[in-house]
């Protein structure tokens, strides 16, 4: 092994291309790995205006042609994009003088490229499973869903180690793909607390969203079934009967029309605002203004939104499911409520809004917890340790 460890990250998104949580995850993980003397290359899909190659915070970022040729559907596009990603990464890997030690793939979206590169260069492959098709769809119903599930299974089979971001995901992935326990490693997701450092008075900003006497209840997430936004909407009248509040919904998704209709039929359009997708600067401020942040998910591998709210020092009410169960310690760092239960959710939200001392204590504890446990530097160190462990095993294999 050389002095400096080098890793080739494969991801279908990297800033400024942001589709979901993988993009910021790779950004912070790579940046902090680079700080710990790991040479990091990221290969990702192109984005209008972003250069094909640049160095960001010590990380070499390469953006490939993400396949603009016609594709009959999303899944086929993913496989075709992988064909290009694999080719361009192979050219790059062959060219760079310091050989790549490990390939690190993120989700099935780069499965083919990661697996192919592993065999062509005979280097170990690691994968982080951020989610699963089985979890996203609550089962496997269509041919496409089964195909994606089997692609995920293939990726975890080929990987030396499978990283998951919560104990819940470890057990889910173990069950979904029948993996041995010693192949799975838990490394939590991180959050950047400093992006909430901004100073200043947010009174004017707050007044754009709510009246001074209204408490702000914030939901951030895609408007899809698994995020449980419909549970929150059903809880709105129950909460309003106890405390005056404004409900701000940030995000978009296929359930939007349906949710709007429910709100209209309840005659509560003046209390529930659908903001759609929001730029980051505005969102950060809004998170700081929120009197309570709600995460009512039905399926949640990790629950980064809860962590962000904790970093923004906004008290959190979350459903007791998936990764959220581990992030939130009930009555200490937040309030846990029964999943898919509007009464329970309304109870939790009202409790936080009506008891200021309680709200203050959970948000202060939560802020401390975030600093201790979900710090990117620590997470990068853990990840580097996994790379080193794998390389140690690899050095004794017949591939070395």
Stretch that binds another protein, among 115-123, 197-205, 238-246, 308-316 (CB under 8 A): 115-123
**CA–CA dist 101, 63 (Å, integer):** 21
Helix (H, G, I), strand (E, B) or coil at 48: coil
**Do the Cβ atoms of 82 and 110 come closer than 8 Å?**
yes
Q: Which is nearer to another protein, 151 or 293 (CB)?
A: 151
Separation in Å, CA 89 to CA 83, 101, 155, 363:
10, 14, 18, 44
Q: Which tokens is 289 given?
A: 């203004």
Contact status: 42 vs another protein (CB under 8 A):
no
**CA–CA dist 19, 277 (Å, integer):** 11
Q: Which is nearer to another protein, 24 or 114 (CB)?
A: 114
Q: Which is nearer to another protein, 154 or 338 (CB)?
A: 154
**Do the Cβ atoms of 196 and 313 come closer than 8 Å?**
yes
Minimum gap (Å) between residue 47 Cβ and another protein: 21
**CA–CA dist 232, 36 (Å, integer):** 42
**CA–CA dist 12, 47 (Å, integer):** 11
Q: Which is nearer to another protein, 154 or 394 (CB)?
A: 154
For residues 136 to 155, the per-residue mask of contacts with another protein, x marking binding by CB under 8 A and - elsewhere, is: -------xx-xx--xx--x-
**Do the Cβ atoms of 102 and 124 come closer than 8 Å?**
yes
Work out which of 6, 11, 23, 93 binds another protein, going by CB under 8 A. 93
**CA–CA dist 154, 163 (Å, integer):** 15
Evaluated on CA atoms 69, 72, 78, 84, the torsion sign reads negative
**CA–CA dist 149, 140 (Å, integer):** 8
Work out which of 34, 43, 115, 306 binds another protein, going by CB under 8 A. 115
Contact status: 397 vs another protein (CB under 8 A):
no
**CA–CA dist 4, 114 (Å, integer):** 22
Contact status: 127 vs another protein (CB under 8 A):
no
Contact status: 394 vs another protein (CB under 8 A):
no
Stretch that binds another protein, among 87-95, 183-191, 216-224, 247-255 (CB under 8 A): 87-95
Residue written as token pair 């180690």: 161
Q: Which is nearer to another protein, 92 or 386 (CB)?
A: 92
Largest CA distance in the chain: 69
What's phi and psi for 247, nearest 5 deg?
Answer: -100, 120
Pick from 282, 309, 287, 298: nearest CA to 370? 309
Contact status: 132 vs another protein (CB under 8 A):
no
Q: Which is nearer to another protein, 95 or 396 (CB)?
A: 95
Minimum gap (Å) between residue 110 Cβ and another protein: 12
Minimum gap (Å) between residue 75 Cβ and another protein: 6
Q: Which is nearer to another protein, 103 or 367 (CB)?
A: 103
Minimum gap (Å) between residue 93 Cβ and another protein: 6
**H or E segment at 42?**
strand 39-45
Contact status: 72 vs another protein (CB under 8 A):
yes
Minimum gap (Å) between residue 140 Cβ and another protein: 9
Contact status: 120 vs another protein (CB under 8 A):
yes
Q: Which is nearer to another protein, 94 or 368 (CB)?
A: 94
Contact status: 70 vs another protein (CB under 8 A):
yes
Contact status: 52 vs another protein (CB under 8 A):
no
Work out which of 19, 52, 94, 355 binds another protein, going by CB under 8 A. 94
**H or E segment at 335?**
strand 335-337
Residue written as token pair 């173990």: 174
Which residues contribute to the site for another protein (CB under 8 A)? 69-73, 75-76, 79-80, 82-83, 86-88, 90-91, 93-94, 112, 115-117, 119-122, 143-144, 146-147, 150-151, 154, 157
């Amino acid at each position: 092994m050389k002095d400096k460890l080098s890793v080739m990250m494969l991801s279908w998104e990297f800033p400024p291309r942001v589709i979901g949580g993988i993009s910021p995850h790779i950004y912070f993980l790579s940046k902090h790995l680079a700080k710990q003397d790991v040479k990091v290359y990221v290969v990702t899909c192109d984005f209008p205006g972003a250069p094909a190659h640049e160095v960001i915070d010590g990380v070499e970022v390469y953006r490939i042609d993400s396949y603009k040729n016609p594709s009959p559907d999303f899944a086929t596009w993913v496989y075709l994009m992988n064909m290009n990603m694999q080719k361009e990464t192979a050219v790059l890997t062959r060219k760079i003088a310091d050989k790549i030690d490990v390939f690190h793939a993120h989700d099935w979206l780069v499965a083919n490229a990661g697996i192919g590169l592993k065999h062509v260069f005979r280097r170990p492959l690691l994968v982080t499973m951020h989610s699963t098709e089985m979890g996203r769809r609550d089962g496997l119903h269509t041919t496409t869903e089964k195909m994606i599930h089997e692609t995920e299974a293939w990726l975890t089979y080929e990987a030396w180690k499978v990283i998951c971001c919560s104990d819940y995901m470890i057990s889910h992935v173990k069950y979904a793909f029948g993996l041995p326990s010693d192949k799975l490693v838990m490394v939590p997701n991180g959050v950047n607390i400093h992006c909430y450092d901004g100073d200043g008075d947010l009174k004017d900003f707050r007044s754009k969203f709510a009246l001074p006497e209204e408490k702000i209840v914030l939901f951030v997430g895609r408007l899809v079934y698994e995020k449980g936004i419909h549970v929150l909407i059903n809880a709105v009248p129950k909460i309003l009967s106890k405390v005056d509040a404004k409900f701000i919904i940030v995000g978009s998704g296929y359930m939007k029309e349906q949710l709007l209709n429910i709100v209209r039929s309840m005659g509560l359009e003046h209390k529930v605002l659908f903001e759609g997708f929001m730029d980051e600067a505005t969102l950060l401020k809004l998170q700081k203004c929120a009197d309570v942040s709600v995460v009512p998910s039905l399926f949640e591998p990790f629950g980064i939104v809860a962590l962000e709210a904790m970093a923004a020092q906004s008290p959190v009410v979350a459903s007791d499911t998936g990764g959220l169960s581990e992030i939130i310690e009930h009555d200490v760092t937040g309030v846990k409520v029964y999943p898919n239960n509007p009464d329970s959710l309304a109870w939790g939200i009202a409790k936080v809004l009506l008891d200021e001392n309680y709200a203050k204590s959970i948000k202060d504890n939560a802020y401390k917890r975030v600093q201790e446990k979900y710090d990117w530097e620590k997470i990068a160190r853990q990840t580097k340790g996994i790379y080193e462990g794998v390389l140690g095993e690899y050095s004794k294999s017949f591939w070395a």
